[in-house]
Structure 1
Amino acid sequence: MTFYWFAQAVGVLAFLVGITSFFNRDDRRFKLQLSGYSLTIGIHFFLMGANAAGSSALLSACRNLVSMRTRSLWVMWLFLSLTLVMGLSRYQHWVELLPIFGTSISTWALFRTRGLTTRCVMWCSTACWVTHNIWLGSIGGSLIEGSFLLMNGFNILRFRRLQRRGIDPFAAEKQAEKKASEGRLMSEPRA
């Protein structure tokens, strides 16, 4: 197997990890799998010689993991700042602003939203990346992000239909979050 095909195989692996992430109803598993995708696609970009894209993907992997542990505003602002500094210092054409915007809104969503809202904002972010990748002429990037757009869009509609029927597709996640918050309150010392 040549190095080129090895790099492409890593890209296909990233595609498989990423495409299945939007089936998760649990935000924690969703973010964990999205981190795995970002890490894998980052490695793919580095192997293909696209170092700026690789760096951005690795930053996204870190951001996704950190957003599982904290919803702190200062951490969110740190990742937004890193995204803007790295992106705005390297862009040369207005279309390159789309992924910067997409990454910024997905950073906000991962730290400040939950459930269906997170997925809707991520869908908008993906639309920015698809547009950019088509403009760039990236076949693999366009296919991966296009698939994300379709799969996440399909799941948004599915989750919304469940909500209209009175079924909360994110109920288990909300219960786990409530128990964790009650556990923290019980363990705090009383004054």
Structure 2
Amino acid sequence: MTFYWFAQAVGVLAFLVGITSFFNRNDQRFKLQLSVYSLIIGIHFFLMGASAAGSSALLGACRNLISMRTRSLWMMWLFIILTPIVGLSHFKHWVELLPILGTTASTWALFRTRGLTTRCVMWCSTACWVTHNIWLGSIGGSLIEGSFLLMNGFNIIRFRRLQLRGIDPFAVEKKAPVG
């Protein structure tokens, strides 16, 4: 297997890990699954020579984990400032601005929004990433972000319909005690 195909295989692995993340109604599980996905796809981007995207993805993984513990404005601003600094230090082509923009928007969403709003901002962020990944020629990255775009879009519609019927799709379900 050549190095190129190894890098593509890592991207496909990221696709397999990340495919179900937007089905999570629980924000904590959603963020944890996105962190694992971001770590693997970041490695894929570095292997593909896309250092700006790799840096943005790895920062995104750290950001997702930290946003599970705090919604601190200080932490949000730290990641919003770090993303363009780290990403632009590896910048080579204008399309590489898209992952930086997408990561910045999703940082704001993960720290300042919940539920449907988070998923809507993440959808816009995903549009930036899918454009970049198609340009890069990343098979796994294009598949996963394209899938995220579709799945998250369908779930946004589904969750909004539930809200219009008076059902909160993001309410934490409590199990009845056994016994």
- TM interval, shorter chain, is 0.7 to 0.9
Identity among equivalent pairs (%) = 87
Q: 1:2 to 1:91 in 2, by over 3 A?
A: closer
- The structure 1 segments of at least 4 consecutive aligned residues displaced by more than 4 Å after TM superposition are 1-6
Deviation at 1:114, TM superposition (A): 0.4
The superposition leaves residues 141-173 of structure 1 with CA deviations (integer Å, 9 ceiling, x where unpaired) of 222211110111011111111111111001117
Q: Which amino acid aligns with 1:66?
A: I
Question: Any unmatched runs of 5+ in structure 1?
Answer: 176-191
Mean CA deviation greater in 48-57 or 164-173: 48-57
1:1-150 equivalent positions in 2, closer than 5 A: 4-150=4-150
1:187 corresponding residue in structure 2: none
Deviation at 1:49, TM superposition (A): 4.4
Separation of aligned partners in 1, 2:135 and 2:5: 24
Mean CA deviation greater in 78-87 or 8-17: 8-17
Mean CA deviation greater in 30-39 or 41-50: 41-50
State the secondary structure of the residue aligned to 2:38.
helix
Separation of aligned partners in 1, 2:124 and 2:49: 27
State the secondary structure of the residue aligned to 2:19.
helix
Query: Which protein has greater RCO, CA pairs closer than 8 Å, 6+ apart?
Result: 2
Give the length in aligned residue pairs. Answer: 174
State the secondary structure of the residue aligned to 1:171.
coil
1:157 corresponding residue in structure 2: 157
The superposition leaves residues 113-132 of structure 1 with CA deviations (integer Å, 9 ceiling, x where unpaired) of 00010000000001111222
Separation of aligned partners in 1, 2:126 and 2:160: 19
Structure having the higher Rg? 1
Q: Which amino acid aligns with 2:78?
A: L
